[in-house]
């Protein structure tokens, strides 16, 4: 099974919304994704495909020399198959290609699976955002990763 990573397109939005709704208690509205991929010059979004089907996605904002991961989600039927790993790898490569020197993200304190995935790619816990998630006031763990750029 080959997982392909490519840039997110407007045509992907129906499928993105299916994954978003099944993955999050407070999903982003469709229009937020549309604005991110058409208007936000800082935003970059990628999708993961298996046999032409979008099975996951990830987004990042490139701000000066930092990349802030906005969201990552994988279709529940495709979790545990390495899709999340490929999305993280795709975002890291995107940062390297853009001269980004560090990446950051917030992750739910209870989401141990995601935290472990991020740690495997060199992200380290660096802080806490109390009551970060509006749906249940759960804390967010802040994680950072230094990027080794090409030629460093």
Dihedral angle sign, alpha carbons of residues 143, 34, 87, 109: positive
CA 111 to CA 105: how far, in whole Å? 13
Catalytic (active site) residue 106: yes
CA 59 to CA 45: how far, in whole Å? 4
Q: Annotated catalytic residue: which of 49, 57, 106, 125? A: 106
What is the per-residue DSSP string for 65-88? TEEEEEEEEE-GGGTTTTHHHHHH
Residue whose entry in the numeric block shows the structure tokens 């490139």: 62
CA 14 to CA 17: how far, in whole Å? 5
CA 8 to CA 1: how far, in whole Å? 21
Q: Annotated catalytic residue: which of 20, 78, 118, 148? A: 118
3-state SS, residue 81: coil
CA 132 to CA 135: how far, in whole Å? 9
Residues taking part in catalysis: 106, 118
């Amino acid at each position: 099974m080959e997982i392909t990573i490519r840039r997110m397109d407007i045509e992907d939005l129906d499928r993105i919304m299916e994954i978003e709704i099944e993955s999050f208690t407070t999903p982003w509205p469709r229009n937020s994704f549309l604005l991110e991929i058409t208007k936000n010059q800082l935003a970059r979004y990628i999708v993961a495909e298996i046999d032409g089907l979008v099975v996951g996605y990830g987004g990042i904002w490139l701000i000066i020399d930092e990349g802030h991961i906005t969201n990552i989600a994988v279709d529940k039927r495709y979790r545990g198959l390495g899709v999340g790993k490929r999305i993280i790898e795709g975002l890291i490569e995107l940062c390297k290609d853009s001269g980004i020197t560090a990446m950051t993200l917030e992750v739910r304190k209870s989401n141990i699976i995601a935290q472990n995935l991020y740690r495997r790619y060199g992200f380290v816990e660096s802080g806490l955002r109390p009551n970060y998630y509006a749906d249940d006031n759960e804390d967010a763990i802040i994680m950072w990763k230094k990027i080794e750029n090409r030629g460093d």
